[in-house]
A and B are shown apart, each in its own frame.
Chain A
Amino acid sequence: NAGVMQNPRHLVRRRGQEARLRCSPMKGHSHVYWYRQLPEEGLKFMVYLQKENIIDESGMPKERFSAEFPKEGPSILRIQQVVRGDSAAYFCASSPGLAGGGNEQFFGPGTRLTV
């Protein structure tokens, strides 16, 4: 009974490089969410995706960040030209697509990005 999978668990990048973070949702879940946790802070919503669609990206920085959830394969959070301020833990969560919203979200182990 695999939970939400994220890889890599730790990622080190130099300033200016690209970071790609992957998330595979729980079996049967079609909704994926990305959250960021800066050091000593709580988690902040970034983006909500369903297969091939971005539903809500209101928490995503306008530049350098992008996310996708293709028909096949994991969801990808991509950060281009990373800067020191991007250093954080990035968590992915998934939920079933039940009607009415407010579904319980299940979190992966996170990817810790160090720039």
Chain B
Amino acid sequence: GIQVEQSPPDLILQEGANSTLRCNFSDSVNNLQWFHQNPWGQLINLFYIPSGTKQNGRLSATTVATERYSLLYISSSQTTDSGVYFCAVIINTGTASKLTFGTGTRLQVTL
């Protein structure tokens, strides 16, 4: 099956710093989503981005489908950004619908 790798696995930032999270995938995809799982376990949709670039406030994401990777940028990080960030993909077969999740990047933002 498709492999989804995220890096780095762990990241500690001081409040105000910027960061880049990476997601590599091993096959052609027609869905790529980024999620934030907060410390209470809730899974929050950040981006639906099978290709191209999107921005939402301090967050932005870019997917280069032809090179099979996606990047999530967090600028001016805040303590509320702490949690685990997951990338998830659906392979491009026209009918497949299950998301395959990466192992996540655990982010801790300190004061």
Contact = CB atoms under 8 A, between A and B. Distances in A.
Are A and B genuine complex partners? yes
Interface of A: 31, 33, 35, 41-45, 48, 55-56, 58-59, 89, 91, 93, 95, 100-107, 109-110, 112
Contacts of A93: 99
A112 B41 contact: yes
Contacts of B64: none
Contact of A42 (B30, B93, B103): B103
A100 B94 contact: yes
Nearest to A43: B101
A109 B98 contact: no
B101 A42 contact: yes
B104 A106 contact: no
A104 B31 contact: yes
A43 B4 CA distance: 12
Interface stretch (B16-24, B43-51, B55-63, B70-78): B43-51
B97 interface: yes
A102 B30 contact: yes
A39 B26 CA distance: 26
Contacts of B98: 33, 45, 48, 56, 58-59
Contacts of B41: 89, 109-110, 112
A63 B35 CA distance: 31
B97 A104 contact: no
Contacts of B48: 104
Contact of A103 (B31, B93, B94): B31
Nearest to A47: B98
Nearest to A48: B97
A102 B45 contact: no
Contact of B97 (A43, A89, A91, A103): A103
